[in-house]
């Protein structure tokens, strides 16, 4: 039998949607996105030009950077690029090509921890970028929302798509599905926990961050 939490999450009997359904969520009702968008409170997804505009970063209040396209052959900023900012920006690099064959899964939890740590600091705000802010950076933000905010993969996509057009490549999307399967098993186990449903599964209403 299926059970539904207070926020409408199907638990027992929940099945991770197939890739085609996730693609439908990603592709429907698309509208122009700017070079950067706050897609969750204190989480910004951006392109590389925004990430290199230090003056703009200061205006946005960015305290932490995740470069999802790090490396000498990609966007080789590194922590040194931000070492002379008025407020020292903390840097985390992920060397990930935008290839469907690349295994980005090992970066899910370390990057999610970095984002979580940043957001728990006073006035912490994270900018996650790759080249265009569409695939690699979006994949890591979706994984964060699934791991730390308790969202399913569909809910995470809907939450981000409220604010920005994103499109993880097919390989990354499959890896997010696998993460969703893993986390859904943990959610089912959480049904027997004394914690309330509202504390385990936050609201995912499409509101401004």
Distances (CA, A) of 21 to 106, 174, 176, 178: 25, 12, 13, 15
CA distance 145 to 167: 16
Q: d(Cα 195, Cα 182) in Å, to the nearest integer?
A: 20
Cα dihedral sign for 129, 100, 140, 24? positive
Our answer to whether residue 130 is catalytic in this structure is yes
Question: In angstroms, rounded to a whole number, what is the distance separating the alpha carbons of residues 159 and 145?
Answer: 9
Say how far apart CA 38 and CA 81 lie, in whole Å.
23
Which entry of 20, 130, 162, 206 is annotated as an active-site residue?
130
User: What is the spatial order of strands in the sheet that 90-93 belongs to?
Assistant: 36-40, 43-46, 126-129, 64-67, 90-93
The percent of the chain in helix, strand and coil, each rounded to the nearest 5, is 40, 10, 45
How far is the CA of 23 from the CAs of 20, 131, 172, 183, 198, in angstroms?
A: 5, 21, 12, 20, 28
Catalytic residues: 130
């Amino acid at each position: 039998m299926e059970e539904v939490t207070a926020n409408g999450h199907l638990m027992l009997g929940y099945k991770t949607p197939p890739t085609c359904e996730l693609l439908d969520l990603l592709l429907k009702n698309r509208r122009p996105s700017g070079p950067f968008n706050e897609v969750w409170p204190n989480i910004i997804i951006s392109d590389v030009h925004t990430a290199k505009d230090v003056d703009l970063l200061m205006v946005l209040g960015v305290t932490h950077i995740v470069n999802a396209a790090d490396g000498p052959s990609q966007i080789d900023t590194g922590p040194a690029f931000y070492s002379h900012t008025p407020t020292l920006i903390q840097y985390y690099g992920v060397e990930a090509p935008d290839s469907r064959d690349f295994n980005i899964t090992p970066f899910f939890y370390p990057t999610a921890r970095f984002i979580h740590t940043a957001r728990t600091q006073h006035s912490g705000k994270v900018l996650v970028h790759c080249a265009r802010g569409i695939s690699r950076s979006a994949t890591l933000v979706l994984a964060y929302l699934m791991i730390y905010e308790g969202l399913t993969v569909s809910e995470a996509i809907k939450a981000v798509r409220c604010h920005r057009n994103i499109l993880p490549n097919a390989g990354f999307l499959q890896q997010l599905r696998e993460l969703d399967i893993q986390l859904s098993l943990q959610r089912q186990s959480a049904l027997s926990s004394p914690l309330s449903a509202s504390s385990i599964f936050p609201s995912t209403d499409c509101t401004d961050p």
